């Protein structure tokens, strides 16, 4: 346990055991760019001893192109169609943790599929932390078109009605991602 995590080691162990035994669906992480879906997802999968897959990586592999190249060459609509297909496939192939790209859960079909066949966990986070985290890498085409803080603020507002449909919401603070993974375990255990 880390000092910021709400759950103690023994409760965490018990929650992990119950989830490992009873949860028969994948866990899909949703939320804005920079909330830590991939890092938290890897950690969560390792705690639960399940597989982990990053949807953005799977899209790049299927398209044999970087996401920024897909946006540049074919546009966002084309990317979303590919994202929809890839996530549908991942939901069939994986029973562990799936980190989705920030816009995936906004797509009606992808959201319906995730809500039906997985447990959706929305990782929410304050904008300043997101701006700081996303500034470390320049790989996100949507943040290249203007001021990242303004873009993230308006995406947060526009996407909140979709993200809030997730069965579970946790907050990512400005601390270690392992705390968020612990919070997710506690929240899933409570939800089950
Ligand atoms: C996007 C988020 C990105 C990636 C693409 C579009 C979005 O994923 O799918 O750049 O629409 O928010 P991350 O959330 O993993 O950065």
Q: How far is the CA of 140 from the centre of ligand 1 (A)?
A: 7
Digitized pLDDT (tens) for each residue of the chain, 192 residues in all: 444 566 788 889 999 999 999 999 999 999 999 899 999 999 999 999 999 999 999 999 999 999 999 999 999 999 999 999 999 999 999 889 999 999 999 999 999 999 999 999 999 999 999 998 888 877 788 888 899 999 999 999 999 999 999 999 999 977 788 899 999 999 999 999
- Which residue's C-alpha comes closest to atom 8 of ligand 1? 101
Q: How far is the CA of 17 from the centre of ligand 1 (A)?
A: 32
- Which residue's C-alpha comes closest to atom 15 of ligand 1? 101
Q: How far apart are CA 103 and CA 100, in angstroms?
A: 8
Q: Strand 97-99 and strand 168-172: pairing?
A: unpaired
- Which residue's C-alpha comes closest to atom 11 of ligand 1? 103
Q: How far is the CA of 101 from the centre of ligand 1 (A)?
A: 4
Q: Which of 28, 101, 160 is the best mutation target for the ligand 1 pocket, counting ligand atoms within 8 Å of the beta carbon and taking the most?
A: 101
pTM of the full structure = 0.94
103 in contact with ligand 1, CB cutoff 6 A: yes
| 57 phi/psi in degrees, rounded to 5 | -65, -40
């Amino acid at each position: 346990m880390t000092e910021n995590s709400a759950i103690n080691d023994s409760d965490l162990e018990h929650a992990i055991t119950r989830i490992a035994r009873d949860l028969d669906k994948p866990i899909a992480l949703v939320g804005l760019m920079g909330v830590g879906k991939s890092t938290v997802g890897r950690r969560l999968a390792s705690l639960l001893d399940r597989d982990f897959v990053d949807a953005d990586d799977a899209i790049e592999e299927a398209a044999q192109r970087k996401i920024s190249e897909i946006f540049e060459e074919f546009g966002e609509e084309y990317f979303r169609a590919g994202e929809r297909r890839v996530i549908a496939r991942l939901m069939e192939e994986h029973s562990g943790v799936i980190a989705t790209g920030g816009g995936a859960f906004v797509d009606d079909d992808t959201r319906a599929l995730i809500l039906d066949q997985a447990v959706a966990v929305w990782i929410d986070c304050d904008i300043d932390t997101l701006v700081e985290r996303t500034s470390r890498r320049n790989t996100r085409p949507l943040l290249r078109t203007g001021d990242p803080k303004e873009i993230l603020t308006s995406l947060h507002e526009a996407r909140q009605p979709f993200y809030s449909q997730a069965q579970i919401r946790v907050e990512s603070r400005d601390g270690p991602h392992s705390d968020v993974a612990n919070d997710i375990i506690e929240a899933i255990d409570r939800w089950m």
